[in-house]
Amino acid sequence: MVIKEIFSQIYRINGRLSTKNLNPGVSVYDEKLIREGRDEYREWDLFRSKLAGAIAKGLNEVPLKENSFVLYLGASTGTTVSHVSDIVGINGLVVAVEISSVCMPPLIHLAEQRGNIVPIIEDSNHPERYSDVPKVDLVYQDISQRNQVEILLKNIKAFLKPDGYYMFCVKSQSIDVTKKPRQVYDEVIKELSKHTTVIQTLQLDPYDKHHMFIFGKI
């Protein structure tokens, strides 16, 4: 078995993206578990996680390591959250905000099993409602709302450390179905560039259609 650490706590195992399982023996979304000596890894599905897709498409940097604090907006049932939880480890923190009550039971179950995830049922349009969240190293957003950019900027302002980063999954169809995705992306990048430094942009096809992944800092 060939195991290569490509970013801190992110591995390629026989060519497949994986993270080290914080909760050995447990698969979160039916992903394959790979045992190697005392360690267990979880295969990271490129088609089910935009962060995995972005890494596969050539993301140059993942500013996460053990002990990082992350604010994750649009957690859903925790597919990507679980891999971020693996990366930051037991002394790190993933605050997982999700508006849908349907997603909450599996997200709460995941949090109970792992010990480094704090699920919050809330609307990310209102960061003042979860204002006790500590300052974070990364704001990650994957929310299909028309005002995605506004939501991101509000949360960055409220919670991102001055030397922190953001990762933003833009869904062009949620912003404006009448425009070509490229036009929507250009407008989003222009708006973000007024307030932040955009470091890298990646179109996520074929893993996610009509999505752009934007990596940046304040």
Ligand X SMILES: C[S@@+](CC[C@H](N)C(=O)[O-])C[C@H]1O[C@@H](n2cnc3c(N)ncnc32)[C@H](O)[C@@H]1O
List residues near ligand X by CB under 6 A. Answer: 49-50, 73-74, 76, 79-80, 97-100, 103, 123-125, 142-145
Q: What is the tally of helices (H) and strands (E) in the chain?
A: 6, 12
Q: How far is the CB of 189 from ligand X (least distance, A)?
A: 20
What single-letter amino acid sits at 69?
F
Q: How far is the CB of 16 from ligand X (least distance, A)?
A: 18
Nearer residue to ligand X within complex by CB, 73 or 212: 73
In 3D, which of 132, 143, 135, 140 has the Cα closest to residue 103? Answer: 143
Nearer residue to ligand X within complex by CB, 27 or 197: 27
Nearer residue to ligand X within complex by CB, 68 or 82: 82
Measured between alpha carbons, how far is 1 from 13 in angstroms, rounded to an integer?
7
Nearer residue to ligand X within complex by CB, 3 or 158: 158
Q: How far is the CB of 37 from ligand X (least distance, A)?
A: 29
Supply the DSSP string of 44-89, one letter for each residue. --TTT-HHHHHHHTT-------TT-EEEEE--TTSHHHHHHHHHH-
| Rg of the chain over all Cα atoms, to the nearest angstrom | 17
Nearer residue to ligand X within complex by CB, 3 or 133: 133
Q: State the angle between helix axes of 79-88 and 104-114 in degrees (0 to 180), rounded to the nearest 10.
A: 20
Q: How far is the CB of 48 from ligand X (least distance, A)?
A: 7
Nearer residue to ligand X within complex by CB, 2 or 102: 102
Question: CA neighbours within 13 Å on the CB side: how many for 207?
Answer: 21
Measured between alpha carbons, how far is 100 from 194 in angstroms, rounded to an integer?
31
Q: How far is the CB of 169 from ligand X (least distance, A)?
A: 7
Which position's Cβ is nearest ligand X? 74
What single-letter amino acid sits at 143?
I
Q: How far is the CB of 78 from ligand X (least distance, A)?
A: 6
